[in-house]
Structure 1
Amino acid sequence: MDKTLKRMATMQRMQVTGLELFYKKGYYNTSVDDILKELSLSKGAFYYHFESKEDFFIQIIENLLVRKMYSMLIEPIEGHENTIDLITNCFEEALETAVHNELDFGFVLSNFVNEFNGKNEKVMKHLNDILRIWEANLVSAIQRGKFNGYIDRHVDSEGVAVYLMSAYIGVRTLMVETAPSARKYRFMSQLRQYFKSLEPKPENAFNRD
Structure 2
Amino acid sequence: MDKNIKRMATMQRMQTKGLELFYKKGYYNTSIDDILKELDLSKGAFYYHFQSKEDFFISIVQNMVVRKVYNLMIEPIEGKADPLSSIDRCFENALATAEHNELDYGFVLGNFITEFNGRNDEISKYLKDIYKVWEVNLVTTLQKGKTDGYIARHVDSEGVASFLIASYIGIRVLMVEGNSKMLGYHYMQQIKQYLKSIAETQLV
Range class of TM-score, shorter chain: over 0.9
**Mapped partners of 2:159, 2:178: distance in 1:** 29
Corresponding position of 2:156: 156
- Per the TM alignment, residue 82 of structure 1 is displaced from its structure 2 partner at its CA by 0.9
Runs of 4+ aligned structure 1 residues displaced above 3 Å come to: none
The answer (yes or no) to whether the contact 1:80–1:144 under 8 Å persists in 2 is: no
Tell me how far apart the structure 2 counterparts of residues 79 and 184 of structure 1 sit (CA, whole Å).
Answer: 26
- Report the 3-state secondary structure (helix = DSSP H, G, I; strand = E; otherwise coil) of the residue aligned with 2:75: helix
The correspondence of residues 10-159 of structure 1 with structure 2, limited to 5 A, is: 10-159=10-159
Deviation of residue 199 (structure 1)? 1.1
For residues 170 and 101 of structure 1, what CA distance do their matches in structure 2 show?
Answer: 17
TM-fit CA distance, 1:201: 2.9
Q: Is the 8 A contact 1:152 1:198 kept in 2?
A: yes
Q: CA RMSD in A?
A: 0.9
Counterpart secondary structure, 2:177: coil
Question: For residues 164-202 of structure 1, what are the alpha-carbon distances to aligned partners after superposition, in whole Å with 9 as ceiling and x for unaligned?
Answer: 001101111111131000000000001111111101135
Distance in 2 (CA, whole Å) between partners of 1:166 and 1:40 is 38
Q: Secondary structure at the match of 2:44?
A: helix
Report the 3-state secondary structure (helix = DSSP H, G, I; strand = E; otherwise coil) of the residue aligned with 1:176.
Answer: helix
Q: Tell me, yes or no, if the aligned pair for 1:23 and 1:108 is still in contact at 8 Å.
A: yes
Amino acid paired to 2:40 = S
User: How far did 1:80 drift?
Assistant: 3.0
Q: Deviations over 1:27-65 (max 9, x none)?
A: 011111111111111000000000111000000000100
2-structure distance, mates of 1:128, 1:86: 24
Task: Report matched runs for 1:178-189 at 5 Å.
Answer: 178-189=178-189
1:153 is paired with a residue whose SS is coil
Q: Secondary structure at the match of 1:77?
A: coil
Q: Distance in 1 between matches of 2:159 and 2:127?
A: 21
Percent identity of paired positions between Structure 1 and Structure 2: 63
Q: Distance in 2 between matches of 1:173 and 1:93?
A: 17
Give the Cα separation in 1 of the matches to 2:10 and 2:161. Answer: 38
Superposed displacement of residue 79, structure 1: 2.5
1:200 to 2:164 alignment = no
Q: Structure 1, residues 131-188: CA drift from partner, whole Å, max 9, x if none?
A: 1000000000101111111100110000000000011011111111310000000000
Q: Which amino acid in structure 1 is aligned with residue 156 of structure 2? A: D
Distance 1:99 1:81 in 2: 28
Q: TM-score, normalised by structure 1?
A: 0.95
Unaligned runs of at least 5 residues, structure 2? none
The number of equivalent residue pairs is 203
Contact 1:72 1:90 in 2 (8 A): yes
Could you list the runs of 5+ residues in structure 1 that have no partner in the other structure?
none
Q: How big is the shift at 1:72?
A: 0.3
Contact preservation (8 Å) 1:66, 1:130: yes
